[in-house]
A and B are shown apart, each in its own frame.
Chain A
Amino acid sequence: MTTQTVLAAAGQVSGGEEVTFWILAPLALIGAIGMVWARNAVHSALWLVLTMLCLGVFYVLQAGPFIGMVQIIVYTGAIMMLFLFVLMLVGRDASDSLIETLRGQRVAAVVLGLGFAGLIGSGLYRALEGVQAVGLDRPNAEGNVQGIARLLFTKYVFAFELTSALLITAAVGAMVLAHVERRKEDRMDQVATMKARFRPGNYPGPKPGPGVFATSSSVATPARLPDGRLTDRSIPEILPVRELTAEENTLKGTEK
């Protein structure tokens, strides 16, 4: 790997690098196409993982071992893993449906995608025309990691800190939005629940079922206590307490 790193200089491509490229480039493309084509969301994510791994190896080949490894650890290992996590929580049968909700959107998407790719490609081609590749020998002179660290903590330290502030804000914001605040005092442990249950005024036994000793089997009919009184506790709070009248209570259509 070190020899390849050294040889990734201007204008020359070593045999090993070329072989690796021609093996991995088709794989990366297959991964990208598979990601779009796969019906199953998890399969789609796995194809993307393949592409990302290939990209990581490309970075290593291009004399950037640090960014290559970070690509694998952060993108493949952490971010795609979180994607998978969410996909699995959604459910394993979350496949794409084949019904077009907007008429002709697939064709439009293909055309727009091709146009965008052409735009990017031609833009890159125009921008890089006549640019001499100088390689990474000079930035990597004192080591790839050290070179990145020097740039990151001197020239780009402000941008770096701003980005991290943005990310932290996003993470904290997501937590604030999703987190339900419960104070420590409000949390009931077993002892507190038991005490509340045996508090005066609270009946600790199970509630009587609706309709027990009642005149009707309706849920809206309160149960009768052994002393004959009606108990409100036996019916849901949203239902008005009432007892059926004798007229309602008689079997319908039988008396004449």
Chain B
Amino acid sequence: MNTVILAAQDPTLADFGKDPWWLVLGKIVFAFAFGLLATLLGVWFERRVVGRMAVRPGPNQVGPFGLLQTLADGLKMAFKEDILPRAADKVVFFFAPTISVISAVTALSVVPFGPKVSIFGHWTPLQVTDVSVAVLVILACSSMGIYGIVLGGWASGSTYPLLGGLRSSAQMISYEVAMGLSIVAVFMTAGTMSTSGIVAAQGDATQLTIAGQQIPAPGWYAILLLPSFVIFFIAMVGETNRAPFDLPEAESELVAGFMTEYSSLKFALFMLSEYVSMVTMSAVTTTLFLGGWRAPWPITLWSGANSGWWPMLWFFGKVIVLVFVFVWLRGTLPRLRYDQFMRFGWKVLLPINLVWILVLSGLRSIEDWQTRDRLLATGIGAGVLLLATLFWPSRKKAPKPPLQEQVNSRPHGSFPLPPMDLQVPPSPRTKRVVAEREPANVVAGSDSREV
């Protein structure tokens, strides 16, 4: 009985599209509210965490622990004057933040929040919908989100926003390539593009046979496909315009880039979309690489961990951990220079990703060989790699000759240099001033000791 229920927990594609209309509406409202609430709490969370990292309290006045600070800020922002620049393209200027928010929220519709549960007698998955290409829907949403930023920058009719918009379109397109490629490894391993299918595939613990013993190996793709996970996470930070990759915004160089001319509610919408997409991308990472709503290891010892409403808790826990990592990165790393950033994306992330996909497909194609052949094939590959790294030409430069030698080797007629061991005698005037100065009048009070 128990196993039957457990098997029925995992939703498949056939389970979707059978809900009554009120349930669909309820799920949509839930996903939307999740995005908005996560923004409200996420801004507070970020400010508190960054504050703690910077050894200061952070917002702590409005509401308990300053929880209502974001709400107060949001209300204040909504009542500010809405300025429309004269050179702005009015329609596009209005639509740009809307596009950003819509595409950030829409991606939440294919994220599985949990397994199948019973809601008022309906046995339904905790997910708005799932399609056979659900992950592509997420990618499509993030690629539509670029329009919001680019159009916002263009429609402002001013130079800084335009520069910010152009920078962001180049940045997001290049990092989307890296992101898409790192998902390929997930597709290859899971054999499906539907999010619920990927979560289910991570649940089937692979069995390793070591010395005749069956050992359940971890099924999370963050462990199985570690390079993909790392690249995906980096690309995701670039895609959501978060520090250290917040070049489109770059408040210290581009005075907030594409958002320069925005004020009031439209500015609030841009901020909303940034935080919603941060949460959405954390949820997507959880789904693709961290086992989705499935409980992590010590909790799985309890047999009911992956059934009922509990998985939602594990899911939210993982999302919060990922959001914390986002904030942590922001509190730790300085912003990259633009050329470094682009070089990193195209010359580091992309080639590593391609090589990794090649290696993975090679490993998968020899999966059903005999053990000896398989070991031989992987051994040859690893040996070639080892030899290549051993004999790779060193990029270290030859050490520079000492300074005196460099000076001596200069051609005749060079600019005159003072001798290297020149001793400048101290000016007699300086000596007199030092000698005549009176000692500073320092009062040794209790206040000065703390400094």
Task: Tell me the A residues contacting B by CB distance below 8 Å.
Answer: 1-3, 5, 40, 42-43, 46, 49, 56, 65-66, 68-70, 72-73, 76-78, 81-82, 84-85, 88-89, 92, 143-145, 198-201, 204
Contact = CB atoms under 8 A, between A and B. Distances in A.
B154 A92 contact: yes
Contacts of B132: 2, 5, 65-66, 143-145
Interface in B1-39: 13-14, 16-17
A200 B413 contact: yes
Given A72-B144, A78-B173, 5 more contacts: A5-B132, A66-B133, A88-B165, A143-B192, A144-B132
A243 B413 CA distance: 31
B92 A42 contact: yes
A65 B411 CA distance: 72
Contacts of B414: 198-200
A73 B131 contact: no
Nearest to B14: A2
A243 B38 CA distance: 78
B146 A77 contact: yes
B16 A2 contact: yes
A42 B143 CA distance: 18
A84 B89 CA distance: 15
B389 to A, nearest CB: 23
Contacts of A92: 89, 154, 157, 162
Contacts of A84: 150-151, 154, 169
B412 interface: yes
B133 A65 contact: yes
A49 B154 contact: no
B129 interface: yes
B358 to A, nearest CB: 16
A77 B166 contact: no
Contacts of A89: 166
Given A92-B157, A200-B414, A70 B131 contact: no
B136 A198 contact: no
B279 interface: no
A200 B136 contact: no
Contacts, number: 98
A145 B133 contact: yes
Interface of B: 13-14, 16-17, 89, 92, 129, 131-133, 136-137, 139-140, 143-144, 146-147, 150-151, 154, 157, 162, 165-166, 169-170, 173, 176, 180, 192-193, 411-415
A79 B150 CA distance: 14
B169 A2 contact: no
Give 10 closest A-B pairs by Cβ, nearest first.
Answer: A77-B143, A200-B413, A69-B136, A72-B140, A198-B415, A3-B17, A2-B17, A65-B133, A69-B133, A200-B414
Contacts of A76: 140, 143-144
A3 B129 CA distance: 12
Contacts of A82: 173
Tell me what chain B mostly uses at the interface: helix, strand, loop, or mixed: helix
Contacts of B133: 65-66, 68-69, 144-145
Given A65-B132, A69-B140, A199-B414, A49 B13 contact: no
13 contacts: A1-B131, A65-B132, A66-B133, A66-B136, A69-B137, A76-B140, A76-B144, A77-B144, A85-B150, A85-B169, A88-B165, A92-B162, A145-B132
A40 B91 CA distance: 13
A48 to B, nearest CB: 12
B140 A88 contact: no
User: Which residue, of A2, A82, A84, A201, has the highest number of chain B Cβ atoms within 10 A?
Assistant: A2
Contacts of B170: 85
B17 to A, nearest CB: 5
Contacts of B89: 40, 42, 92
B16 A200 contact: no
Contacts of A43: 92
A49 B14 CA distance: 32
Nearest to B13: A2
B173 A81 contact: yes
Contacts of A40: 89
Contacts of A198: 414-415
A78 B169 CA distance: 10
Contacts of A81: 143, 146-147, 150, 169, 173
Nearest to A60: B131
Nearest to B91: A43
A46 B92 CA distance: 9
Contact of B411 (A49, A72, A200): A200
Given A2-B131, A65-B131, A204 B169 contact: no
B172 to A, nearest CB: 9
Contacts of B17: 1-3
Nearest to A74: B143
Contacts of B140: 56, 69, 72-73, 76-77
B187 to A, nearest CB: 9
A204 B146 contact: no
A144 B171 CA distance: 32
A203 to B, nearest CB: 10
